[in-house]
Structure 1
C-alpha cells in the first residue's frame, strides 16, 4: 500500500509496476523499463490517430440487392483493402500492449536522435505527438522514481536512464502480459456469442449487457478473437466498447487462482478424478480443480495445483499417503494389516480413525514430510495415538 501510494499513477497501474519489479528481481529478463512504458501509455491514453473501419469485406452478389447497395459494398471493400496496405506497423501486432510497447520504444529512440525525427516518427505511424510526448516524459519519470524509491540496484535490477527500449523477448512478453493481467484483473471480459456476434460480457456492465472491442484496438483486427481478454476502459457511443485490450490465456488465470492471492479467482472443488496424489519426490500434495472467475461465474480450465496449506483437503490426502507408506519408510510397519482402507480418509470425515489422524495434521498444519519430521523433532508422540487406532 505504501509503495502504491508513492507512485503518481492509478493503483491498478501501480500494481503492474510493482509486479514487474518483483518479476525482475534476480532475473536476467528485466521488464521494469517496459512496464514503465506500458503504464505511461495507458495513463496518458489516445496515443494513436488511426483505427479500423468496422465491418467485413463481403463481395458476393445477393438476391434482390440493388445496384446502389452493391456499389456501396464494393466501395467499402476497396476502402478496407487500401486501409490494410496503409496500416501503421503497430496496428499489425497481436494486441494493444505489444502495440503500445512498439510505439513507446520507437519514439524513445526517435526523440533521442532529434525532435525532427520524433515528429517524423509520429506522422509516419499515425500518432498524436502531444500525447506521446507526455507519455514519454511520464515513462522517464516513473523509471527514475522506481530506481530511487525501491532501490532497484540493490535488487539486481539495472535501468539505464533515459530509457530507450528494445523489443522484449518472448520471456519478457509473457511476464509483461502477466503484470498487465494482474492490474486489470477486475476488467476481465469473456466472449458471449449468445448476445450477438463478437459480443463479450464483463463485470462492469453485468452478464446481460454486451460489450464490444473498440475498432482502434489491435485485438479488433485479430482472427480468431480471444475468448477471454482484459481491458483498460469502456467507452460508450452507440454501444459499449472496450479499449486497450489484451488477450488472456484462461490457463494463466487458472494458475493465478491456484496461487490464492486474488479473491476474484476461486479454486472451487477439488476433483475426485483424476485422483489427488502425494508426490514423494516433491514432498507436496497435488490435486486437480476447476477454478472460476467469480464476478462472471466463468469456469476456467481444469489444472493440477499444489493444494494450499489453508485447505483441509491437503491434510486428508497427506494422511492417506502416510497410511499407505508413501511418506515415511517403515510407517506403517512392514506387513501390518490396517483396520481400514486408507482411502476412507477422503470420504469419511466423521470416522473416528480418520479424525484421529487428520485432526492433528490439520490443527498443526502438517501437510508434508518435512513438516512432519520437524514436528516429530519437537514432539516425539505427535500422531502416535491416531496411528495406533489404525493398527490391530
Structure 2
C-alpha cells in the first residue's frame, strides 16, 4: 500500500491530507509539522485573533479527532532534516527515517529577521505573545509598512497602544500598490493616531527600541518586524530539486522530480494565465494549492490556475485584492478612494490585470472574470460605485 508524506503541517498540508482522503486514497498519509500546534490558518493571527475578537479554537483547520478519524498520521514538533529523493525517504530530527511513494513539500516561509530582539508575527505563539502585550499606553514600534506590519499596527492601535511605523519606502505598501494607493493606507493609519516615519530604515533593534540607518534612536516598549518572509526551500535545494524564488513546479505543482510536489508559500508554480512562474504568499494559495497538489499526487489531470487573491482588515477598512499588478501601465478608479469605498483596476494595454475592492463587496468574481478574459475593456463599463 502506498505511503504519501506531507512535510509541513500548515493550511496547505492539512488541506492536501483532507483531499487525499476525500478522493478515496486508502494508503498511509503522514503529515509532519515542526510546530507543536495542529494545522491552523494564519490570517487571524494578524487580524481578529490578534485583536482579541476570536478565540484560539477558531483558527484550526480541523478538530483534533479529525486526524484519528481519517487515519492521518499527524506528527507534530518534528522536523524533516533531509530528503533523500533517490531512496524515496525523509530523515527526521529524531534520527528516524520515513519512506514515501509520493512527497509533498509545504514548508511555507519564515520571517526576514532584523539584528536584535524584535518580535515577529508568523505563528500562533507569536500572535498570542503580542496579544498579551498590547494594552493602553504600551509603545509599539512596527518596522515595515507591509500588509503584516499595517495589520499589526491596526491591532496595536485598536488596543490603545502608542504606535509608530518605520518604513524605508516613501509610503505604505509602495511596492505592492504604488504610491497613490499606498498613501491612502498611510492616511488611514495617520488618522487613527499612528506616527509614520517613511524614507528611513531600521538598522538595528535594541533593548529599548531601534537604531535607524540615519543614526537616530527611537524608543519603544515593543518592536515588531514585518519586513517580508523567505520561503523555506532548504530541504528542496539540498535534495537537488530545481529552486528559484521558491521550489519550481509545473502547473500541476509537480517539482523537477516526478514523485515530489510543492504547495503553498514555498511553491513557485507555473501559472498558465501569466505564462511564467509565480510565488504567492497568501492564504488562498495554500487553501486551494494543497488540494491541487493532492490530486496531482494521485495522478489526476489538474492545473493550479487560480488568480492570486488576498484580503486585509484594518480598522473600518475591508479590502480584497485579485490578480498581479506586474507590468501595469494605468490605474482606473471607480468610486472615491477618499471615502474608502471604491474599486481600483490595474490595466495593461487596456486589459484588466488586477483589481482591488475596498469596502465594496460581492464583486470579486466580476473582477476575476475581467482579468481572465484578457480582452480590452470599456472603462465606462467598469463598476462605478
TM-score (norm 2): 0.24
Q: Which is higher, the Rg of structure 1 or of structure 2? A: 1
Higher helix share: 1
TM-score (norm 1): 0.23
Higher strand share: 2
